[in-house]
Amino acid sequence: MEKAVLQSLTIGQILDRTIEKYPDTEALIYVDRDFRLTYREFGELVDRLAMGMMALGIQKGEKVAIWATNVPYWVALQFATAKIGAILLTVNTYYKSSELAYLLKQSEAENIFIIDGFRDTDYLQTLYELVPELKTQQRGFLKSREFPHLKRALFLGHEKHRGMYSITEIMALSHLTSEQEYKERQESLDPHDVVNMQYTSGTTGFPKGVMLTHYNIGNNGYWIGKNQLLGPEDRLCLPVPLFHCFGCVLGVMAAVNHGSTLVILENFDPVQVMAAVEEERCTALYGVPTMFIAILGHKMFGKFDFSSLRTGIMAGSPCPIRTMEQVIEKMYMKDVTICYGLTEASPVMTQTRVDDDIEKRVKSVGRAMPGIEVAVIDPETGLPVPPGVQGEVVCRGYNVMKGYYNMPDATNKTIDSDGWLHSGDLGVIDEEGYLSITGRHKDMIIRGGENIYPREIEEFLYRMEGIRDVQVAGVPSSRYGEEVGAFIILKEGYNYTPEDVKDFCRGKIARYKIPKYVLFVNSYPMTASGKIQKFKLREQSALLFPDA
């Protein structure tokens, strides 16, 4: 393990330190709406929002859910909640009503911030349908029958909506909190307090709330940025979702730790990314491989200037070697890095370094991060395997989550008695310590950087009358890496079409989880002991859908 000096600071203290060092460096830029704040101005915004939230009665330890795209106030809320000891609970923007309802109940969230909506989902209407009391009860004093813990619904914008405080009103309330009260709240915090909760699906089919501390993500963000050689002269273009660790840790925490500028896009669009890079002379760019492929393959690629780029991160799914070569050659990202990890690891456990050759950057996911032990073990015995031998990837260190919220059994299954976090991924470590991911111990599907767990979709499809059995597996895709495939056995007397199954899913589960491919079968390939062989379903799907 590479030794590291770890900072024992809260997220708020990390921001304050950066403001003191680089007050006039630009912190946050939105090119499409001419929104620009220096670190000093950003700090003032964070403090107003934090003091306004205290005035509303938000207590230390309360969960504050955020269901929003990468709007300007998202990052301010990330630090404002941290400064008052609240726990930011990130919500996937693609969620539908049933997924939001589960998250609010399981997390026992007391507060939720929302925007008006995203794509085909009206967030306001969804929340009013789930919590009809919002339309009749006094703001800030919510008593919901379905969600007994929920106290407040808040709007992450300037418009007024029934039962909700707007962001403008919250900041206007900041004068009701004294500087002394605000200072005392911050002084009461501990770096090992939980500051962030993110929901990750599991093989049980039920998403789990991963509890991450200031210490977890503050230090992970520092080393992610350090390994890219980020500094106050760097400008990081961030088109990935903030609700993922990719956005709020690899992006925001890496930049803020090193005084770099964040150039954020509300949603990914290849032309907007290219324009932002050129206009702001960005030196770093993040994305999953499909994003880089979309940029490189765009008909307007040749019209933009990428010469300012130096580094960045490609993560979320395996990177094709040709894509990496083009990113280095055509986009000038000679220092681009690859990261590997999982939400439970805060999230990065390995990263390539800027001086690694292209083969290391494509055929491996790098070496262990400073302060983190990474090992490959025999899944049966739990003992380390020699270099070059496949086993399960595990890690141990400052980055390991505090646990799953209200799920002690699941926590104990993931973190063993010696403190090792089990990833569920299969990998090989070479003699130099470089890790290569060779497979998945779990049945997880990765579609364009989104982790999808088949069991969750299977449990949902079992609600459809007429389905006797269903198995979900990944179908290889040239565009997204994998797509969702559902292999269904129908009950006698039922005659569904693939579109019937997709219609059942629409509006109820996130769009990216809806099976693109539906195949009706009479049986499944099985082992002698009767276990379904999902890898064979995947192999069959590659033959049936060769152009996926």
Q: Quick check: 240 and 247 in contact, CB under 8 A?
A: yes
d(CA 276, CA 313): 17
pLDDT of residue 458: 86
Q: How confident is the model at residue 376 (pLDDT cuts 50, 70, 90)?
A: very high
Q: Which of 168-182, 249-263, 352-366, 402-416 has the lowest mean pLDDT?
A: 352-366
Q: Would you say 153 and 163 are in contact if contact means Cβ atoms under 8 Å apart?
A: yes
The neighbour count for residue 466, using CB atoms within 10 Å, is: 15
How far is it, in rounded angstroms, from Cα 421 to Cα 169? 43
pLDDT at 379: 85
**Cα dist from 204 to 439, 441, 443, 455, 464, whole Å:** 20, 14, 11, 6, 19
Q: Please, what are the domains in the chain?
A: 11-330 (3.40.50.12780), 446-544 (3.30.300.30)
The whole-angstrom separation of Cα 94 and Cα 66 is 13
pLDDT of residue 85: 98
With contact defined as beta carbons under 8 Å apart, do 513 and 440 qualify? no
Burial class (CB in 10 A: 0-12, 13-18, 19+), 532: middle
Residues 6+ apart with CB under 8 A from 541: 473, 474, 475, 476, 485, 517, 519, 548
How far are the Cα atoms of 103, 445, 470, 517, 523 from residue 546, in angstroms, in the given order? 37, 18, 22, 12, 22
Count helices and strands (H / E) in the chain.
18, 28
Describe the crossing of helices 498-505 and 454-461 by its angle, rounded to 10 degrees.
100
**Does 205 have pLDDT greater than 70?**
no
Mean pLDDT is lowest, of 83-87, 248-252, 509-513, for 509-513
Look at residues 101, 105, 123 and name the one whose alpha carbon lies nearest to residue 114.
123
Whole-angstrom Cα distance, residue 56 to residue 351? Answer: 41
Does the structure show a pLDDT above 90 at 34?
A: no
469: CB partners within 8 A, 6+ apart: 488, 489, 524
Where do we find the tokens 């998202």? 74
User: What does pLDDT average to over the chain?
Assistant: 93
Where residue 449 falls (left for φ over 0; alpha for ψ -120 to 50; beta otherwise) is left
Residue-level pLDDT at 238: 98
Cα-based distances in Å from 142 to 104, 110, 145, 146: 14, 10, 10, 12
The pLDDT > 90 percentage for the chain reads 78
pLDDT for 529 equals: 40
Say which DSSP state 260 is in. Answer: P
Q: 54 exposed, middle or buried (CB, 10 Å; 0-12, 13-18, 19+)?
A: buried
Cα(344)–Cα(342) distance, integer angstroms: 5
Examine residue 370 and say whether the peptide bond preceding it is cis (omega within 30 degrees of 0): no
- State residue 375's pLDDT score: 97
Q: Tell me the pTM.
A: 0.85
Q: Which of 4-13, 83-92, 480-489 has the lowest mean pLDDT?
A: 480-489
Can you tell me which residue has the tokens 């003992």? Answer: 383
Identity at 125, one-letter amino acid code: Q
Q: Which residues pair with 517 in a beta bridge?
A: 485
Q: Is the pLDDT of residue 203 over 50?
A: no
Residue 441 pLDDT? 58
Question: Using one digit for the tens of pLDDT, what is the confidence trace for 47-67?
Answer: 999 999 999 999 999 999 999
β-bridge pairing 391-397 and 421-429? antiparallel
